[in-house]
């Protein structure tokens, strides 16, 4: 129980307190690529504090619209407790596994879709339909990658997946999972060329167009936290090396790996144009089809 509490506090600190800092560093990289000075790395914190102090304008009387930001933020906080972030096991790994993790992340997406669809804004409605389409086509890649790891480790626990992969090293099935999960990661975190549901120049923010004040702050925080969680799943389960079994060092190493991954995502975001929805769907279907090869290799023990 002591481990669960201490590791849980660590995970929540990383996901909630540090996610804006990672976003700030990514913004700085984008500015550098654009030959701009850019905002300070602390700017996301300033943005969140400013939004939290703004008036909360109600775009709809639907209670689901008001609850959606809280649902999104709460689900990513709970999901963070199911992912090992430098520790050998997840803080609440005894209470939930990869299935619960996928369920929680899906619940957050559903809450976002419902909030956008209930706002009666045509841009938000189009954004909601795109978000639904993207989720249905990109989420299977994550599920297939986790199934591959689960077959290899004979467990649905993320800590067990990490331990198995660290012990056995790179195998063909996990290499396939790593490659295709990385190719899907840009879409998982909603960055270009896959920020289709928001599409600022096309849908004026799409799913977030009717959000303001504290609700919008929670949505922005949710998006930043979601990026960090997916990056930790990627580096911990699928690239678990090096590992020294000394928590402070392992946490620091994984934070560096996540930062590098966030910067790669930011670089891809800044140098790519947005894809059309039909192009994105074809890309996702390609990933789904070939990522099944990892499951096939795992079933035969390769």
Average confidence (pLDDT) over 125-139: 85
Report d(CA 243, CA 210) in Å as an integer.
45
Report d(CA 15, CA 224) in Å as an integer.
8
Average confidence (pLDDT) over 100-119: 90
DSSP-derived 3-state class of residue 192: coil
193: how many CB neighbours lie within 10 A of its CB? 18
Structure tokens at 111: 């809450």
Report d(CA 64, CA 70) in Å as an integer.
10
pLDDT band at 277 (very low <50, low <70, confident <90, very high): confident
- Mind listing the pLDDT tens digit for each residue in 235-249? 999 999 888 888 899
**Nearest alpha-carbon partner for 178 in 204, 145, 143, 203:** 145
What's the predicted TM-score (pTM) here?
0.93
Which residues 6+ apart lie within 8 Å of 12 measured at CB? 77, 80, 81
**Nearest alpha-carbon partner for 169 in 95, 221, 97, 243:** 243
Report d(CA 55, CA 57) in Å as an integer.
6
Q: Residue 243 in contact with residue 166, Cβ under 8 Å?
A: yes
Report d(CA 162, CA 159) in Å as an integer.
5
Query: What is the average pLDDT value for the chain, to the nearest integer?
Result: 89
- Mind listing the pLDDT tens digit for each residue in 284-298? 899 999 999 999 999
| DSSP notation for 83-140 | S-SSSSS-TTTTT--HHHHHHHHHHHHHHHHHHHHTT--HHHHHHHHHHHHHHHHHHH
pLDDT band at 267 (very low <50, low <70, confident <90, very high): very high
Q: Residue 79 in contact with residue 67, Cβ under 8 Å?
A: no
- Mind listing the pLDDT tens digit for each residue in 61-80? 677 778 889 999 999 999 99
**Backbone dihedral angles phi then psi of residue 195, each to the nearest 5 degrees:** -85, 45
Average confidence (pLDDT) over 8-23: 96
pLDDT of residue 230: 96
Which residues 6+ apart lie within 8 Å of 200 measured at CB? none
pLDDT of residue 172: 93
**Cα angle, residue 179 at apex, residues 269 and 142 outer, rounded to 5°:** 80
pLDDT of residue 13: 96
pLDDT of residue 72: 94
Structure tokens at 115: 């909030």
pLDDT of residue 197: 64
pLDDT of residue 61: 67
Given a cut of 70, is residue 119 above it in pLDDT?
Answer: yes
Owner of token pair 């591959």: 148
Structure tokens at 201: 């120049």
Given a cut of 90, is residue 106 above it in pLDDT?
Answer: yes
pLDDT band at 60 (very low <50, low <70, confident <90, very high): low
Structure tokens at 73: 């933020």
Given a cut of 80, is residue 281 above it in pLDDT?
Answer: yes
pLDDT of residue 45: 96
**Backbone dihedral angles phi then psi of residue 38, each to the nearest 5 degrees:** 80, 170
| DSSP notation for 252-263 | HHHHHHHHHHHH
Q: Where do the structural domains in the chain lie, given as residue ranges? A: 2-299
Report d(CA 136, CA 1) in Å as an integer.
37
Q: Residue 24 in contact with residue 40, Cβ under 8 Å?
A: yes
């Amino acid at each position: 129980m002591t481990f669960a509490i201490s590791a849980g506090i660590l995970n929540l600190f990383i996901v909630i307190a540090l996610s804006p800092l990672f976003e700030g560093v990514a913004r700085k990289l984008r500015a550098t690529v654009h030959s701009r000075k850019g905002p300070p790395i602390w700017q996301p914190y300033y943005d969140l504090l400013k939004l939290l102090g703004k008036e909360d304008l109600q775009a709809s009387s639907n209670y689901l619209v008001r609850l959606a930001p809280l649902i999104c933020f709460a689900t990513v906080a709970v999901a963070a407790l199911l992912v090992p972030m430098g520790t050998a096991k997840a803080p609440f790994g005894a209470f939930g596994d990869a299935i619960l993790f996928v369920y929680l992340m899906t619940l957050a997406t559903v809450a976002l879709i419902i909030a956008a669809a209930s706002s009666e804004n045509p841009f938000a409605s189009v954004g909601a339909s795109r978000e639904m389409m993207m989720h249905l086509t990109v989420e299977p890649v994550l599920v297939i990658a986790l199934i591959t790891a689960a077959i290899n480790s004979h467990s649905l626990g993320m800590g067990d997946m990490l331990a198995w992969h660290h012990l056995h090293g790179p195998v063909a099935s996990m290499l396939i999972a790593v490659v295709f999960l990385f190719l899907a990661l840009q879409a998982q975190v909603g960055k270009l060329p896959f920020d289709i549901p928001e599409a600022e120049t096309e849908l004026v923010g799409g799913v977030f167009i009717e959000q303001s004040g504290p609700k919008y702050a929670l949505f922005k925080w949710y998006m930043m936290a979601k990026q960090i969680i997916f990056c930790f799943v990627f580096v911990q389960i699928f690239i678990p090396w090096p590992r020294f079994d000394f928590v402070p060092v392992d946490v620091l190493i994984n934070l560096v790996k996540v930062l590098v991954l966030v910067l790669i995502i930011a670089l891809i975001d800044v140098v790519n144009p947005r894809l059309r929805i039909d192009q994105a769907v074809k890309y996702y279907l390609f990933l789904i089809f070939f990522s099944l090869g990892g499951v096939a290799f795992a079933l035969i023990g390769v």
